[in-house]
Structure 1
Amino acid sequence: MEELAACVTTNGSVLNVLSPENCDIEILDNGRTINDFIDNKIKELGSEDSEQPFYVANVDDMVKKHLRWITTLPRVKPFYALKCNSSPAVLRTMIALGTGFDCASKGEIQLALSLGVSPDKIIYAHTTKARSYIKYARTHGVNMMTFDNEDELVKISLCHPTARLVLRIAVDDTDSLRRLSLKFGATLGTVDKLLGRARELDLDVIGVSFHVGSGCTESSAFKQAIADARHVFDIASLLGFQMSLLDIGGGFSGRDDVGVKFEEVSEVINGALDEYFPSDSELEIIAEPGRYYVESSFTLAANVIAKRVVLDDTEHSDILEISPDKMIMYYLNDGLYGSLSSITLAPSLYKFVPYLPTADEGSEQKYRSIIWGPTCDSIDKLTDDYWLPELHVGDWLLIDNTGAYTVSIGTDFNGFERTHIYPVVTAETWHALNLSHA
Structure 2
Amino acid sequence: MEKMEKNTDHASVTPNKAVMEVLSPENCDAVILDNGRTINNFIDNKIKELDSLDNEPFYVANLDSVFERHHRWLTNLPRVKPFYAVKCNNTPAVIQMLRTLDTGFDCASKGEIQMALSLGVTPDKIIYAHTTKPGFHIKYACAHGVDLMTFDNEAELLKISQCHAKAKLILRIIVDDSKSLIRLSSKFGARLDTVEKLLERAKELGLEVIGVSFHVGSGCTDSLVFKQAISDARHVFDLANLLGFQMTLLDIGGGFSGREDFQVKIEEFSEVINGALDKFFPPESGVQIIAEPGRYYVESAFTLVVNIIAKRVDMDHPDGEENSSNKMVYYINDGVYGSLNCLINDPAHTSVTPYLHKAVDSSKQRYWSVIWGPTCDSLDKIIENYWIPELEVGDWLLIDNMGAYSVSITTTFNGFEKAHIYPVVTAETWHALNLSHTNGIINE
Matched residue, 1:30:
35
Q: TM-score by structure 1 length?
A: 0.90
**Matches for 1:279-318 after TM superposition, within 5 Å:** 279-313=283-317
**Higher RCO by CA contacts (8 Å cutoff, separation 6 or greater):** 2
**Matches for 1:177-326 after TM superposition, within 5 Å:** 177-313=181-317, 324-326=324-326
Matched residue, 1:131:
135
Q: TM-score by structure 2 length?
A: 0.89
Whether the 8 Å contact between 1:20 and 1:26 is mirrored in structure 2 is no
Specify the SS of the correspondent of 2:250. strand
Distance 2:323 2:343 in 1: 25
Matched residue, 1:396:
396
Q: CA shift at 1:22, angstroms?
A: 7.3
Q: Which runs of 5+ in 2 are unaligned?
A: 1-9, 12-21, 438-442
Determine if the alignment matches structure 1 residue 356 to structure 2 residue 361.
no
Specify the SS of the correspondent of 2:188. coil
Distance 2:175 2:190 in 1: 9
Specify the SS of the correspondent of 2:313. strand
Deviations 1:123-161 (A, max 9, x none): 000000111111111111111100001111111111111
Matched residue, 1:99:
103
Determine if the alignment matches structure 1 residue 387 to structure 2 residue 387.
yes
Distance 1:172 1:323, change over 3 A: farther
Distance 1:257 1:180 in 2: 23
Distance 2:321 2:144 in 1: 57
Whether the 8 Å contact between 2:60 and 2:424 is mirrored in structure 1 is yes
Distance 2:222 2:238 in 1: 26
Distance 2:366 2:349 in 1: 19
Determine if the alignment matches structure 1 residue 112 to structure 2 residue 108.
no
Distance 1:323 1:178, change over 3 A: farther
Deviations 1:406-437 (A, max 9, x none): 00000111010110011111111111112348
Deviations 1:285-318 (A, max 9, x none): 100011100010000000011122222138xx8x
Distance 2:203 2:214 in 1: 21
Distance 2:160 2:307 in 1: 49
Out of 374-383 and 75-84, give the one that drifted further.
374-383
**Matches for 1:20-59 after TM superposition, within 5 Å:** 23-48=28-53, 50-59=54-63
Q: CA RMSD in A?
A: 2.3
Q: CA shift at 1:348, angstroms?
A: 6.0
Distance 1:248 1:215, change over 3 A: same
Determine if the alignment matches structure 1 residue 152 to structure 2 residue 156.
yes
Distance 1:374 1:124, change over 3 A: same
Distance 1:322 1:353, change over 3 A: farther
Distance 1:321 1:78 in 2: 53
Distance 1:129 1:22 in 2: 28
Letter in 2 for 1:45: L
Q: CA shift at 1:383, angstroms?
A: 1.9
Q: Which runs of 5+ in 1 are unaligned?
A: 1-10
